[in-house]
Structure 1
Amino acid sequence: MESATLDGSDESEEIDMDALDSDERRAVRARRESMVVVPQTDADGECIGMYDVHSQSGKRYTVILDHERGCDCPDTEYNHAENCKHRRRVAMTITETDCPAPGQKIGEYGDTLEEVRQQLEREREDLLGKIESLNAMMDGFED
């Protein structure tokens, strides 16, 4: 399975965001921003129609597909967006990956999430190493 859909890394085409209306901008951000979609499941591993969306800002939002205000993000709350970028990303992830739709078992998508978790852990370790190196360099500048 391709993980590019999970992290939204496709930025091959330049788009003038200022020329787009708010709905079009949401669609572009849903595709391009780094987000991880985690379906909530029952005890049997069946998706209950709720998804946690971990955004590149570090925040987590909950998307409920069959609810009128289907996301708890500020865009939905304050702008009354019917299809915020998080809700759009859930729909894309369901249609483009093996992410389960409501009523389906999590199946192989659990393995995909584990791969994402491992990649994020490697990135975290790399960043911690860089921070340690930077701190060591900064120690030399103290009086």
Structure 2
Amino acid sequence: MATQNPSIPLTLAPPTELKDADEDELATDEKRELRAHTQEMLIIPHADEDGYCTGTYDIHRPAKDPYTVNPRELDESPSVMMCGDMQYRRPSGGCKHIRRIQTMVEQDLLPDEDEDATEYLENLVDTYERLVEERDELTDQQARLRRQIRLKLEERSCSTTGTARLRLRKEHPERRPNSRRVRPGPSGGWKPVGTPRPERYCL
């Protein structure tokens, strides 16, 4: 019977021979094996009414449609696996999804067919809660970054406005703070316009 971890792993350590490999330089089957270990996948076994694994699994990946597959049925009916790799290439060792299931079963991380899946399914709740916490943390970080960016933009805007006002004061010393608005008069000077605006520099 599989001994489950408190939290279901979403990735596995790569095989020793592929640990430091450059994926671009690997052969097709080696890439398939590496991705079977390192890509995020959440495997959910189907269980009967007594809690025993039926040998069928749901495979979930981020932003991808889930697959439902029974590895033992692939030889008889390969169409049960909708993965393009299995439908069009049918690699002898299976696609990355099948290899992930087989590796997790071998490492006692996933219940095999006819094994008790109760503990694994209970641990899925811990994994779900962990993922929700990570999502909430990322959402909070995003909100904080947005606030910081908005404040920086506001500070920059205020700084630019203040610099422009100082430049106008130097270019037109006849304008004074707390005075009435002015405009060029007929004699070339400046004359007040409108009502005073206290505590503001009048442009």
Interval containing the TM-score (normalised by the shorter chain): 0.7 to 0.9
Q: How many residue pairs get matched?
A: 143
Distance in 2 (alpha carbons) for counterparts of 1:130 and 1:98: 32
The question of whether the paired residues in 1 share the 8 Å contact of 2:45 and 2:57 is answered with yes
Matches within 5 A, 1:8-87: 8-10=11-13, 13-68=19-74, 69=78, 71-82=81-92, 83-87=94-98
Q: Which is higher, the Rg of structure 1 or of structure 2?
A: 2
User: SS of 2:113's equivalent?
Assistant: coil
1:17-50 Cα offsets, whole Å, 9 max, x none, are: 2332212211111111111111011222221111
Match of 2:122 among 106, 111, 127: 111
What CA distance in whole angstroms lies between the structure 1 residues aligned with 2:12 and 2:37? 8
Matched, 1:120 2:131: yes
Q: Quick one: percent identity of the two aligned structures? A: 27
- Counterpart Cα distance in 2 of 1:108 and 1:80: 33
Which AA in structure 1 matches 2:85? D
Mapped contact 1:37–1:93 kept (Cα < 8 A) = no
Q: Once the 2 structures are TM-superposed, how far is the Cα of residue 71 of structure 1 from its aligned partner? A: 2.5
Shift of 1:66: 1.6
Deviates more, 1:81-90 or 1:68-77: 68-77
What is the CA–CA distance in structure 1 between the aligned matches of 2:107 and 2:97, rounded to whole Å?
15
Q: Does 1:6 align with 2:17?
A: no
Change (3 A) 1:4 1:23: farther
Q: TM-score, normalised by structure 1?
A: 0.80
- The reply on whether 1:129 has 2:132 as its aligned counterpart is no
Paired letter, 2:70: I
**Structure 1: unaligned runs, 5 residues or longer:** none
